[in-house]
A and B are shown apart, each in its own frame.
Chain A
């Protein structure tokens, strides 16, 4: 069976991954809503996972996919805890605008 990458070429995957990652970065910096920021972080994680799987196919090695597996586990844990924190902030401040979280000023 032929390697898929013969048709696609690994550089395409690299460009796609880079663009998705930068979109995630852009989202983190652009929006004020904490939930949207979180979503952008998920986009970033996904871009990295995609790259790992692509290289796993390139090397014909399952270790990349193992890493993706663990990365997903961590992402899930992170979302759980992060959303709990966002809910706490919402309860205390009434909004989740990240520009309101200025108590560390000085």
Chain B
């Protein structure tokens, strides 16, 4: 044991006496290991962020989208395909307590792009047209004023609720309540519609990579008929009394919609009913796949780093041929020579691994700081598994790529080695 410690000490001393080359040797390993750490950290951070945002919405929500989708994939509407099969009548049927007893509230949505004009200021944003139940379904809180009532939502009063960012950029003085803004749909040269500002939504930040504060809310019927000129619903969100009843309620909703649409074979469903558990599952599988893919890329760079180690070790062996010859002449066995060079490769890669871990943690932390600065609720996660994996991989890399040069050194003929110039 003391012999091993002594050898480690001597090897480290020797490596330190040629710092520049030692550093270049392990640069590839540093980058590879740092890459693994950063990617795993970013993957976990992004996953936690998205999942956290989803659960914040509440786990007793069910979403209904028009169009069929299979259980695991996202529905067609996600990709911008307009499916017109979901109608207001369907929503009213779901609201019927005798058909879906666990339903508490139902909010329906259509969305589009608009320009909001206030005086000479104008801003391009998106609108969400919904009804008065929206704040109850989504647990939305108001910064100022009120959300429109059920009645305003249905009758289509010209009232508007601004997202936090829209309010602050149009009305930096904070005097928006009671002001009149004009809404113009993009593209078609339509006339603008005036709305009275009745509320500002509390700052929400970014959820699922969309800035929730960069939008306005208007009553459903105005958005649907006047701005979009359509008669279908793009999205419905249902609040269930208790998260334990979500699965039952989803079945009830499916049954109601099949009745409404006269569907007898479930394979012909023209709608998708999802709860957040499904969404979490889909998102997790996507981020997991990404993480594996990126982890593989980092693994490849670790492999390339290993080849770098092998190259330099081969150079080192040929430079130190005479030394190897001498060591053999004074009694080193093949195994001892092999172990010496193997030890050197392993010490190099372990050092590279440790530096890589430090660099990786540091960069991950900087990215986390940046993400927080950009408004994301980003958690800085370093997984111990990733550290163990990265350092373990670097040791294995050192052994694998150090073995060939070390074997080559151990097989040198001492006489030829001693004569080598």
Chains A and B come from one and the same complex: no
Query: Which residues of B are in contact with A by a Cβ distance under 8 Å?
Result: none
